[in-house]
Amino acid sequence: MTESIHTKVLVIGGGPGGYVAAIRAGQLGLETTLVESDRVGGTCLIRGCIPSKAIIHVAEEFETMVHAGGKGRHGISLSAAPKVDFAETVRWKETVVDKLNNGVSALLKRAKVRVIPGWAKFSDSKTCVVGETTITAEHVILANGSLPVELPFLKFGGNVISSTEALSLDTLPKKLVVVGAGYIGLELGIAFRKLGSEVTVVEALDRILPLYDAALTAPVAKWLEKNGVVLHLGAKAKGLSKDGKSLSVETKDGKTVEFPADKILVTVGRKPNTEGWGLEKMAVDMDGRFVKVDDQCRTSMKNVWAVGDLVGEPMLEHKAATQGDMVAEIIAGHKRRFNPASIPAVCFTEPEIVSAGLLPNDEAAKGDGVITAMFPFSANGRALSMDASDGFVRILARKDDHRILGIQAVGAHVSELSAEFSLALEMGALLEDIAGTIHVHPTLSEAFHETALRALGHAIHI
């Protein structure tokens, strides 16, 4: 039986951009309908950020236990080597995902958001069909997210997997080949190496993590080498071998080599989810492969909005959620625009990398008008007490007024510093503001304080 629904706000996609928009719209008293073809939570919660961090956590635990074997470490030893039941690890990971998924569902229900499961297909900018239900809306918020990029000569299927399948394997691959040395490939490659897989990374560029400068990536490269991850830079994946059990690779010197692999993990990026749901019927302008929006996330079509991965880089959960919240408030009559001082990014490698604001290689950071200062974790008491002294905190600031322009860090657990970095930039902090703020001892955050002091010419502990 067909059904027709008219709603004030229609949200397409239950990821962080979509469900946050829907919840906020519901809180503001707007009649809101959300359509999601999978479980609410989106890629980040169901297939990406959360499950990958759960696997990374288990990998860290296992690595610690491995180090306690034999002669032991820090006075701790094990009488037998630890073992991994990866199927059980994946089952535990799913309990974390389920808990968060249920939480999002409950929040949507509390906000009185109507959730319709299924795939939305648009016939015009304000009308879509989901199964036998036709939905028309005054406002449409597109939050369709993104998908893994598939290489034409390495189609997903069988032993060729994306990050989604990598997080749901029944057993650990003995030999894992990772295509792509960006943050997804290295995060997962490092986790699988800690769990005992033999890992080879193939990257077409001549460096890992190309979004970051060499100083930030050097500690990660050091860990890869120390822990036996085979890295081939300037190498191009060509396809599967004839028997399908190896990856053919053209190395930097032009030779073709085959790398045996139980699984080949392809992580060469993500693309906006623009196909199969009727975007072409909506008559919105595009910006390359992304939906074009202004600083309020308005598309070229009146009362059609787009947020998150659909509208461009960076493809990050916290950007999508912020945009979703903003759009809901604008529809409700609030004055908002998306103009953050920075969108911080974290790479959960070993060690972790955080970046907010300008990097030294950015054009605006070059020249004599910028101060750059670093403070090493080797001079930080908390880092030393964790046996994690690799890495540093770095600040870029204007020389004339000491306004902070960019902050980066690489080291153990530095992801937890990302909020302080982002807040400092958003508040327009000066070096003197950070130097004059008491930081708790002993914490990693003291390195941020010391970096500001060093930029001012009077660091205490170096």
Q: Report how far apart, in Å, the C-alpha atoms of 327 and of each of 11, 114, 213, 259, 283 are.
A: 11, 18, 34, 48, 20
- Side-chain half-sphere CA neighbours of 49 within 13 A: 15
Q: Give Cα 162 to chain centroid, integer Å.
A: 15
Which H or E run contains 124?
A: strand 120-124
Residue 157, class by beta-carbon neighbours within 10 Å (0-12 exposed, 13-18 middle, 19+ buried)?
exposed
Tokens 């990693």 belong to which residue?
A: 444
Does residue 458 have an active-site annotation? no
- Cα–Cα distance between 315 and 184 in angstroms, integer? 12
Query: Going by DSSP bridges, is the β-strand pair 120-124/127-130 parallel, antiparallel, or unpaired?
Result: antiparallel
Dmax over Cα atoms in the chain, in whole Å? 75
With b for 16 or more beta-carbon neighbours within 10 A and e for fewer, the 168-181 pattern comes to ebeebbebbbbbbb
Dihedral in degrees, nearest 10, Cα atoms 137, 276, 142, 34: 60
- Cα–Cα distance between 355 and 353 in angstroms, integer? 7
Q: Is the CB of residue 292 less than 8 Å from the CB of residue 300?
A: yes
- Cα–Cα distance between 20 and 327 in angstroms, integer? 10
- Out of 6, 74, 439, 441, the active site residue is 441
Helix, strand, coil fractions of the chain, as percent rounded to 5? 35, 25, 40
Catalytic residues: 441
